[in-house]
């Protein structure tokens, strides 16, 4: 019996409308289906770690002493080795150049100081994640004994507002 009373109440406002006018009623919702789409999100993740790093300090204002000392020693040794040769001046000069080069290299090694420190390194990686999001709702509602369907961007609840309008049939 309640169904018939409800049906009469729904039809009663429409019967009192003049042509072109409308009435708004609350129709019962009989079904709601969410409309979803899948969206891929890029989610940043920062990864950090500690890393040992070698630091080299070079001394400033290198001394010329190692090079000079190397030249003297190299020239003296080469001159002594080539003392019976007619090319002794050339051998002594070559020994002095070689000694200066060795002395220079040794002097630079001694002026370098190295040590290790721990530094934090970081990088950003991205995780791809598929997420479903609701874009709207497909709503089924009952009016006058029939089921109708519509779409809405929000969930309607238990009832949906429906506009009823009288129009003549051609």
Residues 87 and 120 in one domain: yes
pLDDT at residue 157, as a whole number: 93
Report yes or no on 170 lying in a domain.
Answer: no
**Tens digits of pLDDT across the chain (170 residues):** 333 333 333 444 444 556 668 889 999 999 999 999 999 999 999 999 999 999 987 765 567 777 777 667 766 776 677 677 777 777 777 777 777 777 777 766 655 678 899 999 999 999 999 999 999 999 999 998 999 999 999 999 999 999 988 777 77
Residues 96 and 57 in one domain: yes
Residues with Cβ within 8 Å of 165's Cβ and at least 6 positions away in sequence, in order, are 17, 20, 21, 22, 23
Burial of 103 (0-12, 13-18, 19+ CB in 10 A): buried
Report yes or no on 157 lying in a domain.
Answer: yes
CA distances to 76, 124, 132 from 127, in Å? 70, 10, 16
Residues 120 and 133 in one domain: no
The count of structural domains within the chain is 2
What does pTM read for this prediction? 0.42
Rounded CA separation 88/86 (Å): 6
Rounded CA separation 134/35 (Å): 6
Q: What domain range includes position 62?
A: 45-125
Residues 61 and 99 in one domain: yes
Residues 59 and 94 in one domain: yes
């Amino acid at each position: 019996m309640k169904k018939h009373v409800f049906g009469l109440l729904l039809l009663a406002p429409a019967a009192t409308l003049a042509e072109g006018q409308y009435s708004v009623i609350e129709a019962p919702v009989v079904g709601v289906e969410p409309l979803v789409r899948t969206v891929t999100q890029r989610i940043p993740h920062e990864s950090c770690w500690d890393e040992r790093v070698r630091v080299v300090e070079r001394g400033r204002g290198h001394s010329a002493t190692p090079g000079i000392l190397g030249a003297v020693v190299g020239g003296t040794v080469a001159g002594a080795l080539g003392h019976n040769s007619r090319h002794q001046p050339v051998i002594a000069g070559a020994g002095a150049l070689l000694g200066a080069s060795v002395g220079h290299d040794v002097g630079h090694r001694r002026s370098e100081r190295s040590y290790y420190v721990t530094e934090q390194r970081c990088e950003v990686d991205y995780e791809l994640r598929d997420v479903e999001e609701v874009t709207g709702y497909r709503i089924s509602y009952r009016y006058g004994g029939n089921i109708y369907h519509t779409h809405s961007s929000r969930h309607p609840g238990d009832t949906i507002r429906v506009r009823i309008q009288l129009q003549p049939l051609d």
